[in-house]
């Protein structure tokens, strides 16, 4: 393929790296204006000195009891959730010749997973932690070319017939057990081995099915970070807390973000009192970013302009203590323009990249 239509040697290198690596690289998994970032940073600075272990007055304690962000468990309690998870990358080329467009291959790579899960509280210990059995009722799993291997493509959906040949079909009806805390954390995976033992290693997609039942994957799936990341055992209305998290984007570098959670208040939804927590994020300037060995702008930081969008939302029924909805959506965008393009060119050769990581857990 001739690269002359794309310009400089530097641009050619960008084209080669993006074309060969962006779609095939592993994704770890974020638009904000300068004014938004400055305002959020000032807000962070103002709350840095909050004491998460402070004692509450009697009146404050009563207020906390009314609007406490806590899961509550009862033996025999059941709830069914739709869980979705996406980790994808998208590349689009603009302003290039038809010949180059065909060779450069715009499109999406990555994974999209959807599950229907039923939780059943089997026991509650003296610390208020619940032993919860979780059964997989339905599953769809898509792997688009590029994420795992250039020619690997998976499109499994338990709602479609004739897919029993996949090991992913063996997950239906499987149950695993976790120990869940009232603060939204997973204290441990009690039993996932029996579910994994029921998978057939000779079937296609066995590794994908086994990974969904790994202890780290289960822990991540069922941890409500909007609650678990708060060090205050008794959060009150209007309180703000922060979690710092690192994300890698291969050749596009890596970023660390301060995820800022805010307890917005209590609202009536369908006759129930729902506590609302919202999350927004800004690039971190804290020590976690400076100390993280992998934090770097990437070799193409001067070639690509970037922006991010990173938000989250949680609603909790405070009358029952049952989680209603929890989701976070991260999107990182890059745009690079041929540095040798004619300034008068209305549509110069350019490449646009998007990395997405999203999840949702809702009744």
Reported as a single tens digit per residue, the pLDDT across 73-113 is 999 999 999 999 998 888 888 887 777 766 676 778 889 99
Report the C-alpha gap between 133 and 119 in whole angstroms: 6
Q: What pLDDT is recorded for position 55?
A: 36
Q: What pLDDT is recorded for position 299?
A: 60
Phi, psi of 14 (to 5 degrees): -60, -45
pLDDT above 70: residue 148: no
The DSSP H or E segment spanning 15 is helix 9-17
Report the C-alpha gap between 227 and 160 in whole angstroms: 36
Average pLDDT rounded to a whole number, residues 2-24? 48
Comparing 48-62, 82-96, 230-244, the range with the smallest average pLDDT is 48-62
pTM across the whole model: 0.79
Report the C-alpha gap between 276 and 258 in whole angstroms: 19
Q: Collect all residues with Cβ–Cβ distance below 8 Å to 321 and sequence separation of at least 6.
A: 70, 71, 72, 73, 182
* Kind of pairing between the strands at 350-362 and 240-248: unpaired
Total residue count of the chain as it appears in this document: 363
Q: Collect all residues with Cβ–Cβ distance below 8 Å to 307 and sequence separation of at least 6.
A: 31, 32, 332, 333
Comparing 172-186, 290-304, 327-341, the range with the smallest average pLDDT is 290-304
Domain count, the chain: 1
Token pair 């998460």: residue? 52
Report the C-alpha gap between 361 and 326 in whole angstroms: 5
**Of 256 and 55, the one with more pLDDT:** 256
> Domain limits at 213?
4-362
C-beta separation of 226 from 219 below 8 A = no
CB atoms within 10 A of CB 45: 9
Calculated CA dihedral for residues 267, 271, 274, 280, nearest 10 degrees: -60
Comparing 118-122, 126-130, 175-179, the range with the smallest average pLDDT is 126-130
Q: Which two tokens stand for residue 38?
A: 């400055």
Please give the DSSP secondary-structure letter assigned to residue 252: G
Phi, psi of 122 (to 5 degrees): -95, -35
Q: pLDDT band for position 201 (50/70/90)?
A: very high
Phi, psi of 349 (to 5 degrees): -60, 130
Q: Collect all residues with Cβ–Cβ distance below 8 Å to 266 and sequence separation of at least 6.
A: 67, 237, 273, 274, 275, 276, 318
Token pair 């994704």: residue? 27
Q: Which two tokens stand for residue 236?
A: 């009150």
Report the C-alpha gap between 104 and 20 in whole angstroms: 9
C-beta separation of 283 from 38 below 8 A = no
């Amino acid at each position: 393929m001739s690269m002359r239509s794309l310009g400089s040697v530097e641009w050619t290198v960008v084209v080669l790296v993006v074309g060969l690596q962006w779609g095939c690289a592993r994704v770890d998994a974020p638009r904000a204006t300068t004014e938004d970032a400055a305002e959020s940073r000032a807000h962070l600075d103002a709350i840095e000195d909050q004491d998460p272990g402070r004692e509450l007055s009697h009146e404050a304690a009563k207020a906390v009891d009314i609007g406490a962000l806590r899961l509550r468990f009862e033996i025999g309690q059941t709830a069914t959730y739709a869980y979705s998870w996406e980790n994808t990358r998208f590349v689009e080329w603009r302003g290039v010749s038809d010949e180059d467009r065909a060779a450069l291959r715009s499109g999406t790579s990555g994974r999209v997973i959807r599950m229907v899960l039923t939780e059943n509280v089997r026991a509650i210990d003296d610390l208020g932690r619940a032993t919860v059995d979780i059964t997989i009722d339905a599953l769809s799993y898509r792997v688009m070319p590029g994420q795992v291997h250039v020619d690997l493509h998976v499109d499994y959906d338990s709602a479609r017939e004739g897919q029993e040949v996949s090991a992913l079909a063996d997950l239906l009806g499987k149950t695993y057990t976790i120990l869940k805390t009232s603060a939204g954390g997973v204290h441990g995976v009690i039993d996932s081995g029996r579910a994994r033992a029921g998978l057939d290693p000779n079937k296609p997609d066995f590794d994908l099915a086994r990974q969904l039942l790994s202890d780290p994957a289960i822990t991540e799936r069922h941890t409500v970070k909007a609650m678990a990341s708060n060090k205050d055992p008794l959060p009150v209305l209007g309180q703000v807390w922060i979690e710092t998290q690192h994300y890698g984007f291969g050749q596009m570098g890596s970023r660390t973000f301060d995820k800022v959670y805010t307890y917005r208040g209590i609202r009536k939804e369908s006759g129930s009192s729902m506590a609302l927590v919202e999350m927004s994020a800004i690039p971190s300037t804290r020590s976690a970013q400076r100390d993280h060995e992998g934090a770097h702008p990437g070799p193409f930081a001067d070639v690509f302009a970037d922006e991010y969008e990173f938000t989250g939302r949680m609603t909790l029924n405070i009358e029952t203590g049952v989680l209603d909805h929890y989701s976070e959506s991260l999107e990182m965008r890059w745009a690079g323009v041929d540095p040798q393009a004619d300034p008068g060119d209305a549509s110069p050769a350019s490449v646009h990249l998007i990395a997405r990581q999203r999840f949702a857990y809702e009744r």
